Amino acid sequence: MSLNSDPHASSAFERLHPTIQRWIWRQKWPSLREVQERAIPHVLRGDCDVVISATTAAGKTEAAFLPLATRILEQPTAQAGFQVLVISPLKALINDQHERLRDLLGSGDIPVHRRHGDVSQSERNRAVRKPDGVLLITPESLEALFINRGHQIPSLFAPLRAMVVDELHAFIGVERGMQLQSLMHRLEMALRRRAPRLGLSATLGDMQMAAEALRPDGGFPQELVLAEGGGQCIRLKLYGVENREAHDEEDGEEGLKSNDDNDRHPLNGDIAVAHMLFQTLRGDSHLIFANARNRVELYSERLRRMCDHHRVPNEFWPHHGSLSKALREDTERALKDSSRPATAICTSTLEMGIDIGKVRSVAQLGSPPSVAALRQRLGRSGRRGEAPQLRLYVQEPPLTEKPAITDQLRQHLFQTTAMVTLMGRRWIEPLESQRPHLSTLVQQLLSVVAQWGEISAADCFSLLCENGPFHRIKIAQFKQLLRDLADKKMLRQTQDLKLILDRDGEQLVNHYSFYAAFQSPKTFRLMHQGKTLGELPVDSPLVEKQGLVFAGLRWLVKHVDTENLIIHLTPAQGGTPPLFGGGGAEVHAQVRLEMRDLYMGTIIPPFLDEQGKRLFQQGQETFSSHHLHHTALLASGKDLLLFPWLGDATMFTFIAWLTRHDVEASQEWSAIRVSDITMDDMGDLLSRMVANGPPDPQVLARDVREKRTEKHHPLLSDGLLAWEWAEGGRFDPHGAWEAASSMSDNTHRQ
DNA sequence: GACCTGCTGCGGATTG
């Protein structure tokens, strides 16, 4: 911000409505932000889509709404209806925005309405009875409007000037994003015209792909505004920790030793890291990203006890998606309260969304799930004038007398270092390739039928697939999908060939659980003295009298009520954090290539601490002593280890392809283990595989045992699900074939 | 060796 940049001097400022200019003066802003300067002219045009990307707290909301308010004030309309529709992924975000926008738009007497599950009946009735100004909504509540007020949609949105998608990146590549695209498309079809779409986002790897996610069919001018915010300095340190085998003395220092056997579960590394965190972070506010709910609980409980032991008030608070809303709000309040220090140990819940202000620093425990997540997390720190600060803690296993090479390679450390290096180069994962999204098509098809009462199959195909967002689904699959839904009593055809809801379809659509496009797991409710502490997945094994760590405290399971899915707890001394389940994070090919470069290099990154440097050097020496520069195959007992340095999608394809040739293969971090095979046999196998060309994804898909991964998949036939798997970019046959060829050459040269 | 998100409208009884 330069001193002479007064709002007057800005051409964008001068194009805003005088009422809005006065509001800006009252804010005492020294100038408009870069992102605002650049976005305002495009939004004012009103005839193009705009993707606006800038870091957290750079004023993206104002970049969209200063010009939108100007358009509303300068071109008043006589038509009743909402003029701007804002779609947001979180209720908490809508509540924050509602406050902020009421202040900004209130100055021009532009009403701001909100609609989501927690908004009272009277507030939502008021909005639909007198629709005007701005409407903030979730995709699910918008879905409900289409189903329950289908015929009113054109009049509710008659004067619509723009659709704003907040946190665009949260919608890309997932079911909810597909639902959102479909709803925006259906709204434009109902209005019989297009409306500009504005996408706001903090972390976008590829602006062009983001623009495509905002409007997949193109066909409307698009402008991209990317405000990088200059090359800001980051303070970063990566700590390596070598775990020791757990001994009884583990906890002796600090007087934290407990007689409880469960206390031995956390390996020494966790205790070492907890001590480092306690010593470094105490006395200020920070965020600790622990990757898994189980680890959030482990560290919360331990750090809380360390505060007790030092006779200081607790300043460590847990935050994750299975904690009750009330407990999460306690943590959020503690973070916002600047009068005392508070550090949250969290999962991705505090990556975006709720406005907690900036913290002093961020700690990352273990490798982050992606470079994009790492950057988003780092952005949470850096108060006014301070550089963002990040500390990473990576644990490596102890080396036994005959250490496994996969341990000696120190892969956690190299993966994390690779991600940090890539973040430094401003690289982040590109967006996932589009899947056909059959499950969400089922939802949208049933919703369209409910919206219109009856509609021809041809019109549905044209609306949703041919000219809509489900363009990967061709007429053959669409027909099969209609047959599957008819078999399940979801849809039937009338004599004049219109689609209507059948018995079970009627029942499905008329329950509120239909509005969400994504699947939600069945859970137990955890209760103590009538208060809900949070929830646990039903498949989490829990028995009565078992100890449990939850919400950072120790409990005993008093009673499991399987009828009502409630677990009653009572305070106790022992216990371990529960397992919450879940899949695995997907590592991108670029990260694996960067890891290989780090192994092959001679440079040790300066941001590693002493222990980290030692472990890093071990990894490089192991790589070199096993000649992994030249070979991708290593003998490991009776097995072989393959090091193809591929992304996880290609690894998965390769493994599925190998298992079709009657060998046992599994992924071990960056490597593939093939059981009980000699180097010669592997060489022969690879030659045969390569000679037959890339594998057929249809054939590989047949071996995928559970294909029903999304909400409405149980309504679809196996054939259609296999088609989706094969078609959906989950396999990379060509990449796997290339890896096999290069390894095949490799074995022949040996 | 994973995380997160969301959820209606109506009818009927009661009260001021």
Write down the pLDDT at residue A255: 41
A445: closest CA among A495, A514, A369? A514
Q: Is the pLDDT confidence value at A252 over 80?
A: no
A152: closest CA among A82, A88, A78, A98? A82
CB contact burial A456-492 (16+ within 10 A = b; e otherwise): ebeebbebbbeebbbebbeeebbebbbebbeebbbbe
Output the distance from A120 CA to B14 C1' rounded to whole Å. Answer: 20
CA of A295: nearest nucleotide by C1' is: B2
Band of pLDDT at residue A544, cut at 50, 70 and 90: confident
Specify the DSSP element, H or E, that contains A545.
none
Q: Is the pLDDT confidence value at A233 over 80?
A: yes
Band of pLDDT at residue A672, cut at 50, 70 and 90: very high
Residue A673 and residue A446: Cα distance in Å, rounded? 45
- Protein residue closest via CA to C1' of B6: A516
Write down the pLDDT at residue A229: 63
A227: closest CA among A201, A253, A248, A249? A201
Beta-carbon-side half-sphere exposure of residue A614 (alpha carbons within 13 Å): 8
Least confident of A160-169, A270-279, A396-405, A472-481: A396-405
Report, as an integer, the average pLDDT of A23-32: 93
Specify the DSSP element, H or E, that contains A253.
none
Residue A547 and residue A240: Cα distance in Å, rounded? 31
Output the distance from A124 CA to B15 C1' rounded to whole Å. Answer: 23
CA of A92: nearest nucleotide by C1' is: B5
CA of A669: nearest nucleotide by C1' is: B1
CA of A119: nearest nucleotide by C1' is: B7
Q: Which residues contact A220 (CB under 8 A, 6 or more apart)?
A: A48, A49, A194, A196, A197
CA of A140: nearest nucleotide by C1' is: B6
Q: Which residues contact A283 (CB under 8 A, 6 or more apart)?
A: A341
Write down the pLDDT at residue A250: 44
Specify the DSSP element, H or E, that contains A97.
helix A91-106
Write down the pLDDT at residue A433: 65
Residues A286, A361 contacting (CB under 8 angstroms): yes
Write down the pLDDT at residue A51: 95
- Residue A234, amino acid: I
CA of A671: nearest nucleotide by C1' is: B1
Q: Name the more confident of A612 and A260.
A: A612
Q: Is A158 exposed, middle or buried (0-12, 13-18, 19+ CB in 10 A)?
A: middle
Residues A139, A184 contacting (CB under 8 angstroms): no
Band of pLDDT at residue A262, cut at 50, 70 and 90: very low
- Protein residue closest via CA to C1' of B8: A512
Band of pLDDT at residue A399, cut at 50, 70 and 90: confident
Q: Is A18 exposed, middle or buried (0-12, 13-18, 19+ CB in 10 A)?
A: exposed
Write down the pLDDT at residue A209: 83
A191: closest CA among A231, A235, A247, A146? A146
CA of A138: nearest nucleotide by C1' is: B6
- Protein residue closest via CA to C1' of B1: A584
Output the distance from A713 CA to B4 C1' rounded to whole Å. Answer: 21
Helix/strand/coil (H/E/C) assignment for every residue in A489-520: CCEEECCCCEEEECHHHHHHHCCHHHHCCCCC
Write down the pLDDT at residue A1: 40
- Tokens 């020494």 belong to A268
Residues A160, A83 contacting (CB under 8 angstroms): yes
| A687-to-A239, A290, A478, A638, A693 alpha-carbon distances in Å | 43, 44, 40, 21, 10
Q: Is the pLDDT confidence value at A265 over 80?
A: no
Output the distance from A721 CA to B5 C1' rounded to whole Å. Answer: 25
| A182-to-A51, A134, A379, A448 alpha-carbon distances in Å | 18, 21, 31, 10
Write down the pLDDT at residue A683: 95
Give the pair of three-digit tokens for residue A239. 């700590």
Band of pLDDT at residue A678, cut at 50, 70 and 90: very high
| A360-to-A239, A286, A367, A385, A393 alpha-carbon distances in Å | 18, 5, 21, 11, 17
Phi, psi of A602 (to 5 degrees): -115, -5
CB contact burial A658-689 (16+ within 10 A = b; e otherwise): beeeebebeeeebbbbbeebeeeebbebbbeb
Q: What is the pLDDT of residues A435-457, one digit of tens each?
A: 899 999 999 999 999 999 999 99
CB contact burial A234-266 (16+ within 10 A = b; e otherwise): bebbbbbbbbeebeeebbeeeebeeeeebbeeb
**Left if phi > 0, otherwise alpha if psi is -120 to 50, otherwise beta: which for A230?**
left
Report, as an integer, the average pLDDT of A617-646: 94
Output the distance from A316 CA to B1 C1' rounded to whole Å. Answer: 26
Beta-carbon-side half-sphere exposure of residue A514 (alpha carbons within 13 Å): 24
Strand order from edge to edge, sheet including A498-501: A455-456, A498-501, A491-493
CA of A346: nearest nucleotide by C1' is: B3
Output the distance from A425 CA to B14 C1' rounded to whole Å. Answer: 67
Output the distance from A83 CA to B2 C1' rounded to whole Å. Answer: 39
Output the distance from A120 CA to B13 C1' rounded to whole Å. Answer: 20
Write down the pLDDT at residue A749: 63
Report, as an integer, the average pLDDT of A730-747: 90
Report, as an integer, the average pLDDT of A336-343: 91
Write down the pLDDT at residue A247: 53
Q: What is the per-residue DSSP string for A259-321?
A: S-GGGGSS-HHHHHHHHHHHHHHTTS-EEEE-SSHHHHHHHHHHHHHHHHHTT----EEEE-T
Torsion of the alpha carbons at A15, A17, A20 and A25, rounded to the nearest 10? 60
Least confident of A437-441, A652-656, A689-693: A652-656
Output the distance from A175 CA to B7 C1' rounded to whole Å. Answer: 16
**Length of chain A, in residues:** 750
Least confident of A298-307, A563-572, A680-689: A563-572
Per DSSP, what are the bridge partners of residue A391?
A237, A363
Protein-covered nucleotides on strand B (Cβ within 7 A): 1-10
The two counts, helices (H) then strands (E), for chain A are 27, 25
Could you give all domains of chain A from N- to C-terminal order, each with its CATH number? 7-227 (3.40.50.300), 243-398 (3.40.50.300), 438-514 (1.10.10.10), 523-588+620-749 (no CATH)
| A300-to-A489, A550, A745 alpha-carbon distances in Å | 49, 9, 51
Across A88-186, where does the E strand assignment appear? Answer: 112-115, 134-137, 162-165
Q: What is the pLDDT of residues A99-131, one digit of tens each?
A: 999 999 999 999 999 999 999 999 999 999 999
Least confident of A14-18, A208-212, A493-497: A208-212
Residue A167 and residue A91: Cα distance in Å, rounded? 13
Band of pLDDT at residue A434, cut at 50, 70 and 90: confident
3-class SS of residue A635: strand
User: Please, where are the H alpha helices in A324-370?
Assistant: 325-336
Output the distance from A123 CA to B12 C1' rounded to whole Å. Answer: 22
Output the distance from A152 CA to B12 C1' rounded to whole Å. Answer: 26
Mean pLDDT of chain A: 90
| A294-to-A22, A207, A239, A345, A483 alpha-carbon distances in Å | 50, 35, 22, 11, 43
Residue A49 and residue A64: Cα distance in Å, rounded? 11
CA of A517: nearest nucleotide by C1' is: B6
Residues A46, A71 contacting (CB under 8 angstroms): yes
CB contact burial A610-625 (16+ within 10 A = b; e otherwise): eebbebbebbbebbee
Q: What is the pLDDT of residues A147-203, one digit of tens each?
A: 999 999 999 999 999 999 999 988 988 999 999 999 999 999 999 999 999 999 887
Percent of chain A's residues with pLDDT above 90: 69
Residue A421 and residue A432: Cα distance in Å, rounded? 22
Band of pLDDT at residue A492, cut at 50, 70 and 90: very high
Residues A176, A89 contacting (CB under 8 angstroms): yes
- Protein residue closest via CA to C1' of B9: A148
- Protein residue closest via CA to C1' of B3: A348
Give the pair of three-digit tokens for residue A102. 């009421």
Beta-carbon-side half-sphere exposure of residue A355 (alpha carbons within 13 Å): 10
CA of A147: nearest nucleotide by C1' is: B8
Band of pLDDT at residue A257, cut at 50, 70 and 90: very low
Output the distance from A520 CA to B7 C1' rounded to whole Å. Answer: 11
Write down the pLDDT at residue A251: 46
| A188-to-A185, A193, A549 alpha-carbon distances in Å | 5, 5, 50
3-class SS of residue A534: strand
User: pTM for the complete prediction?
Assistant: 0.90
